Amino acid sequence: MNITEAEFKVMDALWRREPQSAEELIAAVRGQSDWGEATVKTLINRLLKKGAIRSERSEGRHRYHAALAKEAFALAESENLLDRLFGGQVAPLVAQFAQNRSLSAEDRARLKAIIAGLDDE
């Protein structure tokens, strides 16, 4: 599912707390941007059409829920990045980050534990 950067802000607000009304989402997203009410409502409608969020009527108001799990989105985005930039290979991705970002001792230990766990499979 293709989610734009703008739509991601609405999704992120829902992943942090759900359900939310349109007004609550507008307030949450306005804290991250200078968008007006109409812009946020347009983003909500786009996400509804994509099936990324769903709406239910409660107490006379629409309440929105994330239909797309954050973990599923993160996995799809990660795989897309991996395929586009690194030909689907994980090692060059990890090397890119390791060479261009400072990895803490904790990061290195976690990576080693992940690799060791893969060797046990």
* Domain parsing of the chain, residue ranges: 5-66, 70-119
CA 41/CA 26 separation, integer angstroms: 8
CATH architecture of 5-66: Orthogonal Bundle (1.10)
The CATH class for the domain spanning 70-119 reads mainly alpha
Residue 64: what are its φ and ψ, rounded to 5°?
-110, 140
What pLDDT, on the 0 to 100 scale, is given for residue 97?
Answer: 83
Positive or negative, the CA dihedral 78, 81, 87, 91 is negative
Q: Give the model's pLDDT for residue 79.
A: 93
User: Hey, do 5-66 and 70-119 end up sharing a CATH topology, with the first three levels equal?
Assistant: no
Sheet holding 20-21, edge to edge: 20-21, 61-66, 53-58
Q: Are 63 and 55 in contact (CB under 8 A)?
A: yes
Residue 33's pLDDT is 87
Q: Mean pLDDT for each 10-residue chunk of the chain (121 residues)?
A: 93 96 93 89 96 92 96 94 92 86 87 85 67
